[in-house]
Chains A and B, each alone.
Chain A
Amino acid sequence: MRIREIQKLIDARLLCGEHLLDEEIHNVCGSDLMSDVLAFSNGQMLITGLVNPQVIRTAEMVDIRCIVFARDKTPDAGMIELAREKDMAVMTCRGSMFDVCGVLYQHGLRGEE
């Protein structure tokens, strides 16, 4: 599913990475635990409620292309700049992590294989 469609489904606000909206997402990781993401992620999208620069760094290390911050958590300008530099899309949305994961699962996205 393209990032564009995901953005619509979860009613998210895009903070950077407009040019990545047509990239395909197949697998998604939902976690607030960065070591967990580092250990298991082979997806292209991360959903998290944690906001600090290490979220962007962690995503960078495991080749994640898009980060969704749940519950309206909003990264600061420095984090967005870092994500831009690493060529990642960043969005924030109202729903909780549970809700976002649920909606995406219902529409066919899956976790790590």
Chain B
Amino acid sequence: MPDAIRMTFNVDGDDFAAAGTASSEVKRALKQLGMPPELVKRAAICMYEGEINMVIHADGGVASVAIRPGSVEIELRDRGPGIPDLELAMQEGYSTASEQARNLGFGAGMGLPNMKRYADELKIDTKIGVGTTVTMVLRDRTR
């Protein structure tokens, strides 16, 4: 099996207009590599939700992606405020998003539940005052 293709991005926390650029590049790479469309779409949604979260809740961070035949692993690491109650944060509808984020169409408290639904594995390591690392694995469900 060939080694993973790796991509790393710095996600800027101050530039809301640019949020999603990393997800967009990953989506394009997955398509070019001929990954199945259903996997490409799920991976794009998961990464984009995570990337937006890093921008609106944690002032940016680093996104690392490893692409292997039949799977994609996405890690989103930030040094934001951390998530005090993860169980609560995972609930649909729970959101601490700012007025600004809400005006832009976010803050419905659906991002984390979406990620859970679309990823095959979701792991969240978070510590208050230190940061949050979200790791997702998505596999080709057609294989």
Contact = CB atoms under 8 A, between A and B. Distances in A.
B45 A61 contact: yes
Given A35-B49, A38-B110, A39-B110, A54 B27 contact: no
Interface of B: 16-17, 19-20, 23-24, 27, 37, 41, 44-45, 48-49, 52, 104-111, 113-114, 117
Interface residues of A, number: 20
A34 to B, nearest CB: 4
Given A38-B45, A61-B48, A54 B106 contact: yes
Given A38-B110, A61-B44, 19 more contacts: A33-B108, A34-B105, A35-B109, A35-B111, A36-B110, A39-B114, A50-B105, A52-B16, A52-B17, A52-B104, A52-B105, A53-B17, A54-B105, A54-B106, A57-B19, A57-B48, A61-B23, A61-B45, A63-B37
Contact of A60 (B24, B106, B110): B24
Contacts of B52: 54
A108 interface: no
Given A57-B48, A61-B44, A35 B23 contact: no
Contacts of B49: 35, 38
Nearest to A52: B104
A62 B42 CA distance: 8
Interface in A2-55: 32-36, 38-39, 50, 52-55
B105 A62 contact: no
Contacts of A32: 105
Nearest to B92: A39
B45 A62 contact: yes
A61 B105 contact: no
B99 to A, nearest CB: 14
Contacts of B107: 35
Contacts of A58: 20, 48, 105
Nearest to A55: B105
18 contacts: A33-B108, A35-B108, A35-B110, A38-B45, A38-B49, A38-B111, A39-B110, A39-B117, A50-B105, A53-B17, A54-B20, A54-B52, A54-B106, A57-B19, A58-B105, A61-B20, A61-B24, A86-B24
A55 B108 CA distance: 15
A58 B19 CA distance: 11
B90 to A, nearest CB: 14
